[in-house]
């Protein structure tokens, strides 16, 4: 007989892992019958508990937006996680590596919404019309699952392996800006390590956001005006160690950097 899971208890496990720095074993090993829908239920239990603790949801992040990561985890669509107010790293502030488990850094295009985006049926045109502007972003992802031994259900339950966000520069309007062609140069300690374009995120970052709006509708959740949406990594996600400095330079959008200590 398969083991049964309690979403609230597993949500607390992930939150305790964040607080103590002690990772959890993969849920997919402990609960072989766990589905993606079950995993989103665990994530929503994390959201409920964090909001009850006084935190505020400020947006969402999209993961697995590239074909390489989808193939690695054997899935054919992205996933998402919730962003909270205590995830934003103030400009110029270094990140204390020992407050995380196994952090990695990604360069992304962040959307700031001016209008709600209720799904289903949201299109790229809807996304662009509802967007106040975009800006450079670094997402610090971190897995509360031991050694990053994750499958789709593990990362979904772990709030999309989200941790911290660094936003850079001013908002750039999306009018007359082809986000597919926005290039990014990604460097670690001054050395170029990766590059990509907006097309890495499902062919167009706004496609990622439209997917998210429509996926959220399955759970009666709506992207709201003022929310930040991270549209997906445009390159790799190298591990971060004390002393590392990461910079993402975006064509026409500006740049963003963060240091680890």
Contacts of 88 (CB under 8 A, 6+ apart): 58, 164, 165, 166, 167
- Hey, where are the domains in the chain? 7-259
On the 0-12 / 13-18 / 19+ scale of CB atoms within 10 A, 58 is middle
pLDDT of residue 4: 72
Q: Which two tokens stand for residue 4?
A: 């049964």
**Which superfamily does CATH assign the domain made up of 7-259 to?**
Fumarylacetoacetase-like, C-terminal domain (3.90.850.10)
DSSP-derived 3-state class of residue 237: coil
pLDDT of residue 72: 64
> Can you tell me the distance from the alpha carbon of 83 to that of 56, in angstroms, rounded to the nearest whole number?
8
Asked whether the beta carbons of 139 and 162 are under 8 A apart, the reply is yes
Tens of each residue's pLDDT in the chain, 261 residues = 345 789 999 999 999 999 999 999 999 999 999 999 999 999 999 999 999 999 999 999 999 877 666 666 666 778 999 999 999 998 889 999 999 999 999 999 999 999 999 999 999 999 999 999 999 999 999 999 999 999 999 999 999 999 999 999 789 999 989 999 999 999 999 999 999 999 999 999 999 999 999 999 998 999 999 999 999 999 888 999 999 999 999 999 999 999 999
Q: What whole-number percentage of the chain has pLDDT above 70?
A: 95
Chain segment 78-134, per-residue pLDDT in tens: 899 999 999 999 888 999 999 999 999 999 999 999 999 999 999 999 999 999 999
Q: What is the pTM of this model?
A: 0.94
pLDDT of residue 75: 66
């Amino acid at each position: 007989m398969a083991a049964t899971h309690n979403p609230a208890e597993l949500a607390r496990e992930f939150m305790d892992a964040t607080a103590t720095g002690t990772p959890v074993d993969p849920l997919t090993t402990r609960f072989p019958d766990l589905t993606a829908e079950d995993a989103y239920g665990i994530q929503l239990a994390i959201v409920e508990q964090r909001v009850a603790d006084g935190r505020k949801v400020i947006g969402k992040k999209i993961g697995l937006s590239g074909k390489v990561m989808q193939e690695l985890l054997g899935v054919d669509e992205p996933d998402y996680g919730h962003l909270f107010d205590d995830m934003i790293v103030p400009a110029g502030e270094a990140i204390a590596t020992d407050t995380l488990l196994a952090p990695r850094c990604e360069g992304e295009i962040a959307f700031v919404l001016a209008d709600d985006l209720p799904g289903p049926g949201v299109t790229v045109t809807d996304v662009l019309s509802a967007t106040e502007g975009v800006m450079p972003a670094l997402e610090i992802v971190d897995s509360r699952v031991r050694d990053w031994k994750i499958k789709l259900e593990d990362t979904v339950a772990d709030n999309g392996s989200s941790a911290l966000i660094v936003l850079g520069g001013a908002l750039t309007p999306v009018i007359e800006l082809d986000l597919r062609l926005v290039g990014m140069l990604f460097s670690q300690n001054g050395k170029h390590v990766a590059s990509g374009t907006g097309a890495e995120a499902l062919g167009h970052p706004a496609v990622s956001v439209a997917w998210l709006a429509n996926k959220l509708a399955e759970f009666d959740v709506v992207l709201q005006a003022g929310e930040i949406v991270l549209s997906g990594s445009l390159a790799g996600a190298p591990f971060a160690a004390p002393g590392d400095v990461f910079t993402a330079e975006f064509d026409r959008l500006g740049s963003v950097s963060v240091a680890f200590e």
